[in-house]
């Protein structure tokens, strides 16, 4: 059996595995407002202003949050490490070279061979991360953070795999085409990475598969005075996520003329009007600070650094006898995964800094610290966020400041975190 056929068999087995392992019983997401919302609603304003975060959150949920962090960290690391090991073995064993030769024996054009090889690398990486991804999915189900059905998760995994394969195939074929034609290929590659990062950010709203609708008059009546005060006017849409999760969130999607504020319907249902004002003000703060532009720029820089380091290290690893630039892409991809482990904390630290600025901006815009505190405490209870995450969770999992720090910044009470 050729390597190409083995990949086809592996894809079929992956589909069967994803669709049959540990069937999940259908259950609707917890309807908001729920018991956690009512507990947060009952917190007196005086306590919000004088108590640290540890005394504001639900103690049982904090115990669960610590358990969740212990379960999430191994899954996240495994999803990266498994891809690194499999891709490295794929190159070192000669399987990458055999796949390349199998494709060339099919008498395809070299451009097509490179496209299919790149797509195959993406599939190998996705397959390597399948079990950790499934594990993380199950953790979310067990902790009742998600009501997504197994079949929905499986179809989403397959869709994302196909998209990753197409993108990887295009990237590999275009980059190697540039290498064949100019010694300055790296300049064009850098420009393409920057353009691609901004294009993805610009078109992010077009890839949102969650149904959405324009904001209601109630939400718009809350938002318009804030927009007038901030001098920022953008469309606001509501994502329909209540059937899949009770967790609510708000964010900014798009770039420039495509910019939108996206609010989950669970957030609208569970938060008070004052907290909704804070959530919208927070996203206006991100827009005012040009966070979408900064995020796109950061992503481009980190990808460029990662690719440069991976290529630099790969050039210092001895060639196999059957190596060529196509086969060695498996080694470069494995090294890129290694670099990502070191780059991820940098990315998260920058995102935490952006979120911290938006927190301050939102409080200044609304003048309501109590609503800000109640909002972040409510979100922590719903999402199982830790008040004081450990170093590993902070480095690799946290994209917002820890709850203890956020509450301390609002009410001036020491966080109590080490």
Rg (CA), the chain: 24
Name the pairing type of β-strands 236-239 and 212-214. antiparallel
C-beta of residue 114 within 8 angstroms of C-beta of residue 326: yes
Model confidence at 11, pLDDT cuts 50, 70, 90, reads low
| 327 pLDDT higher than 90 | yes
Indicate the angle between helix axes 403-411 and 329-366, nearest 10 degrees: 20
Q: How far apart are CA 10 and CA 86, in angstroms?
A: 13
For residue 239, give the DSSP letter: E
The rounded Cα 177 to chain-centroid distance in angstroms is 31
Q: What is the DSSP string of 79-131?
A: HHHHHHHHHHHHHHTSHHHHHHHHHHHTT--HHHHHHHHHHHHHHHHHHHTHH
Structure tokens, 48: 């919000």
**pLDDT digit string, tens, across residues 268-324:** 999 999 999 999 999 999 999 988 899 999 999 999 999 999 999 998 998 888 889
Question: Average pLDDT over the chain, rounded to whole?
Answer: 90
Q: How far apart are CA 59 and CA 151, in angstroms?
A: 34
Q: How far apart are CA 196 and CA 168, in angstroms?
A: 13
C-beta of residue 174 within 8 angstroms of C-beta of residue 42: no
**pLDDT digit string, tens, across residues 14-53:** 545 544 444 444 445 578 899 999 999 999 999 999 999 9
Q: How far apart are CA 328 and CA 179, in angstroms?
A: 14
Q: Residue 265: name the closest of 29, 28, 32, 26 by CA.
A: 32
The rounded Cα 278 to chain-centroid distance in angstroms is 23
| 329 pLDDT higher than 60 | yes
What pLDDT sits at residue 191?
92
What pLDDT sits at residue 21?
46
| 136 pLDDT higher than 60 | yes
Distant-in-sequence, close-in-space partners of 29: CB < 8 Å, separation ≥ 6: 146, 147, 242, 243, 244, 245, 246, 266
What pLDDT sits at residue 5?
56
| 416 pLDDT higher than 80 | yes
What pLDDT sits at residue 210?
67
What is residue 258's three-state secondary structure? helix
What pLDDT sits at residue 408?
96
Is 0.75 topped by the overall pTM?
Answer: yes
Q: Show the DSSP H helices in 129-216 as ranges.
A: 130-142, 150-181, 185-202
What pLDDT sits at residue 257?
85
Q: Residue 399: name the closest of 358, 369, 339, 366 by CA.
A: 358
**pLDDT digit string, tens, across residues 239-269:** 998 888 999 899 998 888 889 999 999 999 9
Q: Which residue has the tokens 């708000």?
A: 250
**63, exposed or middle or buried, with CB in 10 Å at 0-12, 13-18, 19+?**
exposed
Q: What's the longest Cα–Cα distance across the chain?
A: 76
C-beta of residue 101 within 8 angstroms of C-beta of residue 44: no
| 357 pLDDT higher than 70 | yes
Q: What is the mean pLDDT of residues 65-94?
A: 96
Q: What is the mean pLDDT of residues 364-375?
A: 97
**pLDDT digit string, tens, across residues 170-185:** 999 999 999 899 888 8
Indicate the angle between helix axes 130-142 and 150-181, nearest 10 degrees: 140
Q: How far apart are CA 19 and CA 134, in angstroms?
A: 11
Q: What is the dihedral of CA 109, 115, 120, 125, to 10 degrees?
A: 160
């Amino acid at each position: 059996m050729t390597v190409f056929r083995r990949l086809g068999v592996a894809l079929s087995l992956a589909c069967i595995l994803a669709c049959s392992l540990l069937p999940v019983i259908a259950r609707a997401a917890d309807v908001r407002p729920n018991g956690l919302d009512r507990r947060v609603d009952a917190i007196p304003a005086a306590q919000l202003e004088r108590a640290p975060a540890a005394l504001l959150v639900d103690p049982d949920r904090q115990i669960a949050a610590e358990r969740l962090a212990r379960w999430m960290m191994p899954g996240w690391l495994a999803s990266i490490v498994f891809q690194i090991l499999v891709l490295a073995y794929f190159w070192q064993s000669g399987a990458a070279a055999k796949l390349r030769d199998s494709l060339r024996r099919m008498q395809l054009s070299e451009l097509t061979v490179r496209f299919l090889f790149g797509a195959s690398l993406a599939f190998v990486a996705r397959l390597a991360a399948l079990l950790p991804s499934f594990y993380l999915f199950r953790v979310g189900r067990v902790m009742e953070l998600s009501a997504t059905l197994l079949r929905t998760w499986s179809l989403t995994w397959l869709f994302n795999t196909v998209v990753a394969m197409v993108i990887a195939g295009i990237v590999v074929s275009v980059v190697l085409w540039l290498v064949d034609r100019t010694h300055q290929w790296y300049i064009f590659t850098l420009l393409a990475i920057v353009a691609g990062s901004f294009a993805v950010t610009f078109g992010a709203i077009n890839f949102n598969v969650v149904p959405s609708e324009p904001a209601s008059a109630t939400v718009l009546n809350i938002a318009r005075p804030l927009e007038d005060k901030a001098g920022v006017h953008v469309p606001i849409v509501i994502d329909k996520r209540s059937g899949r999760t009770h967790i609510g969130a708000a964010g900014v999607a798009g770039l420039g003329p495509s910019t939108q504020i996206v609010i989950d319907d669970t957030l609208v249902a569970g938060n008070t009007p004052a907290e909704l004002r804070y959530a919208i003000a927070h996203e206006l703060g991100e827009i005012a600070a040009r966070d979408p532009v900064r995020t796109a720029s950061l992503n481009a820089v980190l990808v460029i650094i990662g690719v440069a380091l991976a290529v630099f290290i790969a050039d210092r690893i001895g060639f196999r006898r059957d190596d060529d630039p196509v086969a060695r892409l498996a080694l470069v991809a494995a090294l890129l995964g290694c670099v990502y482990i070191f780059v991820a904390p940098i990315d998260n630290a920058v995102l935490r800094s952006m979120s911290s600025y938006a927190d301050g901006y939102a409080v200044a815009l609304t003048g309501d610290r109590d609503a800000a505190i109640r909002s972040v405490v409510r979100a922590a209870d719903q999402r199982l966020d830790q008040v004081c995450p450990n170093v590993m969770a902070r480095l690799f999992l946290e994209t917002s400041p820890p709850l203890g720090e956020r509450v301390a910044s609002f009410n001036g009470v020491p966080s109590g975190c080490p």
